[in-house]
């Protein structure tokens, strides 16, 4: 069974099979995580994205990672260019990234807090949805052994930590009731 880890740091420095980009449907690497990927990976990732765009909201695509230490970038399209991220789009794009990881037999994947920057989704809902999707994925048949949530800054890390702790406490309470 795989594991979920919460880390504070720069997702572009993760040595994993794939990092996830908070993408728009046009796959334009703009600001936030996408901007960091554009700057650190070099032009190859944007060039590859240009050949794959557009994609539907809730979809994801796999590209190379340019100069990043990761092998691939999964671009999770949780919003239209200039739009907002919805809970449904976040859930669908997170699930699709995990499905693509399984299809490509990837073992490790690192996610940022998708949709919480220009996408406008709250960190709390983001953490609840993404952690739930990660747990459900690991409960099924998958090649993924390591899902990391690499969060930029302590406040984001703490929100994910609180959501994860709350789920563990509820599970322990259920065991006690039985």
Q: Measured in whole angstroms, how far is the alpha carbon of residue 92 from the centre of its chain?
A: 11
Mean pLDDT, the chain, rounded, equals 95
Q: Which domain holds residue 46?
A: 3-177
Please tell me the predicted confidence (pLDDT) of residue 54. Answer: 96
**Rounded distance between C-alpha atoms, residue 176 and residue 178, angstroms:** 5
Taking only the tens place, the pLDDT of each residue in 58-85 is 999 999 999 999 999 999 999 988 889 9
First vs last Cα of the chain: how many Å apart?
A: 24
Lowest-confidence segment of 13-22, 109-118, 123-132, 163-172 by average pLDDT: 163-172
- Count how many domains the chain has: 1
H or E element, residue 5: strand 3-8
Nearest partner of 114 among 100, 128, 104, judged by Cα? 128
C-beta of residue 70 within 8 angstroms of C-beta of residue 15: yes
Strand partners, 110: 19, 148
Domain harbouring 72, CATH code: 3.40.220.10
- For strand 72-79 and strand 60-64, is the pairing parallel, antiparallel, or unpaired? antiparallel
Confidence of residue 47 (pLDDT cuts 50, 70, 90): very high
Q: DSSP of 118-164, one letter per residue?
A: TT---HHHHHHHHHHHHHHHHHSS-S--EEEEEESSHHHHHHHHHHH
Note the pTM of the prediction, 2 decimals.
Answer: 0.94
Name the phi and psi angles at 63, rounded to 5: -130, 175
Taking only the tens place, the pLDDT of each residue in 100-138 is 999 999 999 999 999 998 889 999 999 999 999 999 999
**Rounded distance between C-alpha atoms, residue 19 and residue 150, angstroms:** 9
Please tell me the predicted confidence (pLDDT) of residue 141. Answer: 95
């Amino acid at each position: 069974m795989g594991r979920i880890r919460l880390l504070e740091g720069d997702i572009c420095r993760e040595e994993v099979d794939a990092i996830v980009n908070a993408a728009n449907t046009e796959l334009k690497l703009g600001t936030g995580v996408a901007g960091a990927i554009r700057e650190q990976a070099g032009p190859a990732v944007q060039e590859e994205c240009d050949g794959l765009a557009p994609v539907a909201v809730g979809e994801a695509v796999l590209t190379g990672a340019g100069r990043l230490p990761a092998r691939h970038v999964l671009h999770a399209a949780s919003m239209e260019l200039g739009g907002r991220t919805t809970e449904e789009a976040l859930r669908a794009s997170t699930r699709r990234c995990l499905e693509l990881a399984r299809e490509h037999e990837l073992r490790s994947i690192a996610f940022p807090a998708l949709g919480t920057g220009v996408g406008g989704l709250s960190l709390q809902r983001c953490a609840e949805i993404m952690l739930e999707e990660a747990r459900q994925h690991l409960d099924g048949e998958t090649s993924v052994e390591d899902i990391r949530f690499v969060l930029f800054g302590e406040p984001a890390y703490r929100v994910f930590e609180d959501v994860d702790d709350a789920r563990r406490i509820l599970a322990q309470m259920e065991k006690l009731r039985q």
